[in-house]
Structures are given as C-alpha cells and as structure tokens.
Structure 1
Amino acid sequence: MNNDIFPCLWYDGDAKESAEFYCKIFGGEITTDTPVVMNIDLFGQRIMLLNGGAQFKKNASVSLMVICETEDEVQKYWNQLSDGGMPLMDLSSYSWSKKYGWIQDKYGVSWQLFLGDKAGEQKIVPTMMFIHDNNGKAKEAMELYTKTFLNSSIGNILKYGEGSEGHDTQEPAENVQHAHFVIDHYSLFCMDNSYDHSFDFNEGISMVVMTDDQQQTDNYWNALTSDGGRESMCGWLKDKYGFSWQIVPKRLIQLMNDSNQEKAYKVVQAMMKMQKIIIQDLEDAYNS
C-alpha cells in the first residue's frame, strides 16, 4: 500500500475534533497533531485534515468508500456516522451490494459504506464523481492519471449500458457507472453522473502526492497542469477536470520540521511564495 498518496480534507478550525471522531469510529490513531495539519491513520492508510479556513467546503464529488466484510460492520459505521449526518443513499440492499449506504457526516465528508471485496490492500478508497462538464470523462481521466504516475493501471470498468440491474436509464450507455484504477499502487474509484448536482470538484478534498526529488515533482506537476490544468500556490494545482492535487517533495516536510525553528520558518516563508515547489530554493532559504 502506498502512503505517499493520500486524501486531504479541508476544515475551518475543527480538524482535530473530526480526527478524533474518525479514529473513534474506525479504530485509528492521530499521527500528526498541529494547529494547521492533522494526520490520521485508519486501517494503515494516511488521511490529512487541514485547518485552512472557511474558503472551501467538502462535498460528495469526492467520497471515501469503506469496504466492509460483514453486514454488522456496515451497520456499525452507519450508526456512528449518522450522528449529525445526512443520508445521501439509504442504507439498504442493492444489486451491487447486499448492504450499502452513502452518508455525509456532520463535518461534510461523504462516506460510501459497501459490503464486498476489497480492491487490493486498501480498506478506504477515494471515489471521484465526474459531473457537469466532466460528465462522460471518467475514462479519459483514468487514462491521464495512469499515464502520469508510475506503477499504475486501470482495472474493472462497468458502464451504465452493460445491463446492470437498477441503473438510471437516463445515463448515457457509454458513461462509467463504476471503475477502479491504481496510481503508483494507490487505488481510487470513479464514476460519471448526469445529475445536475449543486457541487463539483474543489479544494475541499484534494489528493496529496509526496515526491522523492525535483524530477518527480516536475513530471507530476507538468503532466497535471497541461491541457487546461491550472497552477496554484504552495504546491497546489488543479488538473483539467478541476480536481485538486498537492505535489509535495518529501524534502519540504523534512526542512519544515527541522529542530532549528528559525531555519524551518525561513523554509515555510520561501514555500509560501512558490507555485510548484522548488527544492533547491528551499535549501537555499534554509541555509541563508
């Protein structure tokens, strides 16, 4: 399992409260605890919670699917996530799962609870919904992502027109109802959806990619910002579909966590002025 790729959830001051909530529900632990960044470990997977302010709200364009082994496990998570939460699809039996439900919790994070077989080692699989102008582009997006990252592949693809019982007949037959793909050993799911939702991809949920060196940083940055993508600040970017990524050299984290707080502060100040992270410029700031 690759813990150099993981989701980041945006909060307005309540990241720690949320982290404690998830660790209690899923039996995880907090591994990083700062006023801005919380990291939690759930089932051996890293999730970042970022206190970034009120600017962005999480929504169901990206959800976290939890693959459960028993009906009781699905029910247990559903009961706890229902505390202040809102069902998006009722907990019930469906053609694709004997027990399944989709719920938005009180912190705005959407969870799909699914009784079924795991996709590789991962218990939690981020799921991207391609809607509005992106509707019908799920397969194209998978091809871009798997071409960009090493150790990647596209797995099973179920299209709406392939006879799945109970599917929405308003969906184009060639659209993706559900698909699995892997980027550098990290599993994600995706789907197309024609419904006119009031939300879309935004910075509320992003994917963090930790890189080994400048070449890897450049390769990922250039591939994801090409053909309609947009650079943002501090290692953030949006790809051509509006999905947000954080391309973060591991060296940045090392320098920011240096025991010499004055040097670490200089690194942070240098990083704040960057779009793509330039490791040598961070080193220069550290040594200045």
Structure 2
Amino acid sequence: MTRIIPSLWYAEKADEAAAFYASLLPDSYVETVTGLPADTPSGPAGSVKVVSFTLLGQPFMAIAAGPFESFNHAISFVIECDSQDEVDRLWDALSQGGQVEQCGWLKDRYGLSWQIVPKALGEMMKDPDRERAKRVAEAMLKMVKLDVSELKRAYEGG
C-alpha cells in the first residue's frame, strides 16, 4: 500500500524525541532505532540514527544526523483534543523546556512546532453563523493555551 510517512530531521536526540512523543499519545510507540552502518557526510558509521515510530496510529520517521535546517512553522503538527484536561496535559508536557506561543502553538524542547487545540474549536469555527465563528476566532487570537470554556463563552456571545 502506498502511504506518506512524515520524516523529521533532528540535529540530535531523534530517538529521545520519538520516545517522548509516544509516551504522551495513545496508539503510539517507537518501533526501531537503527544506526546507519556506513559513514555519511553527517558522521561515521553508527553515528546517524534512524528512528521509526508511530503517533496516534500514524507512522513517522526521524533521523538524528547533525545540524541541518531548523524546524519552523511551515511544517507543524496539530493535536485535536477531546477535552480541556487533554489540552492541559499535552500543553504542559510538550511546552516543558520549549517555548509557548499564541493561539495554542508551542515549540517543544526539540524545536518541533505543535498546535494543541480542542476539537470543539473546529466545530465552532465552522458554524454557518459567521458572527459566532468570528467571536470564537477573536477569542482564540487573544489566547496562548486554548481554553474551551472561554471559547464556548465567546461562541455563545458572553
């Protein structure tokens, strides 16, 4: 079967990052960590690590092969959460040692960008009543970590 597998390039610690992400999400695990058996431009045989892992059932690959290009917002991952408790848990874990940003965005300690959003946000933003959706968007734009109760309050006009 043909499929797309996102691949992430880390300067170092790709195996540590994959294990950390897998520890936070269900249906997630590290499958293999393999040292390349040949010398590469990034280092001698065994120094470049390739990691195969799965997050929420989605396969990923990562490589620890020295400095290249830093992660940026052009490629990031959105985690859609069922509850505020889930938003809080993932926000707290992923932002630890990283950098928090606006609108539910953060960079984790490995430099990867994530947006932690409640599933309710997408539903409210798609409301055919565009005034309600606008209030939600305006509320979201003022937040750092997203707050479901505040988003719902804005949605309801309060």
Q: Same fold (TM over 0.5)?
A: yes
**Does the 8 Å CA contact 1:180/1:187 hold for their aligned counterparts?**
yes
Q: How many residues align?
A: 157
**Does the 8 Å CA contact 1:142/1:154 hold for their aligned counterparts?**
yes
**Paired residues for 1:176-255 under 5 Å:** 176-194=48-66, 196-197=67-68, 199-226=69-96, 228-255=97-124
**Does the 8 Å CA contact 1:248/1:277 hold for their aligned counterparts?**
yes
**Does the 8 Å CA contact 2:52/2:59 hold for their aligned counterparts?**
yes
Distance 1:172-1:144 versus aligned 2 partners, 3 A rule: farther
**Does the 8 Å CA contact 1:130/1:192 hold for their aligned counterparts?**
yes
Deviation at 1:285, TM superposition (A): 0.7
Corresponding residue of 2:27: 151
Deviation at 1:172, TM superposition (A): 5.4
Greater RCO, 1 or 2 (C-alpha within 8 Å, sep 6+) = 2
Separation in 2, partners of 1:204, 1:216: 25
SS in 1 for 2:19: helix
Give % identity: 34
Structure 1 vs Structure 2 CA RMSD: 1.8
**Does the 8 Å CA contact 2:39/2:45 hold for their aligned counterparts?**
no
More strand as a share of residues? 1
Question: Structure 2-normalised TM-score?
Answer: 0.91
Instruction: Give 4+ residue runs of structure 1 displaced > 4 Å after superposition.
Output: none
Distance 1:182-1:176 versus aligned 2 partners, 3 A rule: farther
Corresponding residue of 2:147: 278
Deviation at 1:267, TM superposition (A): 0.5
SS in 2 for 1:124: coil
Which amino acid in 2 is paired with 1:214?
Q
Deviation at 1:176, TM superposition (A): 4.4
Separation in 1, partners of 2:51, 2:29: 11
**Does the 8 Å CA contact 1:139/1:176 hold for their aligned counterparts?**
no
Deviations 1:88-136 (A, max 9, x none): xxxxxxxxxxxxxxxxxxxxxxxxxxxxxxxxxxx001100012xxx2x
Question: Structure 1-normalised TM-score?
Answer: 0.51
Q: For structure 2, list consecutive stretches of 5 or more residues without a partner in the other structure.
A: none
**Does the 8 Å CA contact 1:157/1:176 hold for their aligned counterparts?**
no
Q: For structure 1, list consecutive stretches of 5 or more residues without a partner in the other structure.
A: 1-66, 69-122
Deviation at 1:167, TM superposition (A): 3.9
Which amino acid in 2 is paired with 1:154?
V
Deviation at 1:175, TM superposition (A): 3.8
Distance 1:215-1:221 versus aligned 2 partners, 3 A rule: same
Separation in 2, partners of 1:170, 1:125: 22
Structure with greater Cα Rg: 1
Separation in 1, partners of 2:146, 2:110: 22
**Paired residues for 1:254-265 under 5 Å:** 254-265=123-134
**Paired residues for 1:100-179 under 5 Å:** 123-131=3-11, 135=12, 137-160=13-36, 164=37, 166-168=38-40, 171=43, 175-179=47-51
Separation in 2, partners of 1:169, 1:273: 45
Deviation at 1:177, TM superposition (A): 3.1
Distance 1:222-1:173 versus aligned 2 partners, 3 A rule: farther
